[in-house]
């Protein structure tokens, strides 16, 4: 239980400096343990991690472009 209580996106290797850490929060422990039963912190480089980052990146770019077009119009 102590490990779960201290598990945050700031304490997981690969998450602490990730730009998307506030969106996924280090991912769901149950989903991670399903794929890597012995390591609840095996997030970095996982398919779900890459998908979360790409989706957020696309959303940030789209919103930035939308705001820029409004500003220039």
Local confidence pLDDT in tens for the 73 residues of the chain: 888 888 888 888 888 888 988 888 777 777 776 667 677 667 777 888 888 899 999 999 999 988 787 777 6
**Given the structure tokens 């890597």, which residue do they identify?**
36
pTM equals 0.68
Residue 12 in contact with residue 41, Cβ under 8 Å?
yes
Dihedral sign, CA of 1, 49, 56, 11?
Answer: positive
**Secondary structure E strands in the chain:** none
Q: What DSSP state is assigned to residue 12?
A: S
């Amino acid at each position: 239980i102590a490990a779960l209580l201290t598990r945050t996106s700031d304490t997981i290797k690969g998450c602490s400096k990730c730009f998307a850490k506030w969106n996924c929060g280090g991912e769901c422990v149950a989903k991670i343990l399903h794929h890597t039963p012995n390591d609840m912190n095996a997030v970095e480089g996982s398919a779900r991690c890459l998908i979360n980052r790409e989706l957020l990146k696309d959303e940030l770019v789209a919103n930035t472009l939308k705001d820029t077009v409004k500003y220039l119009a």
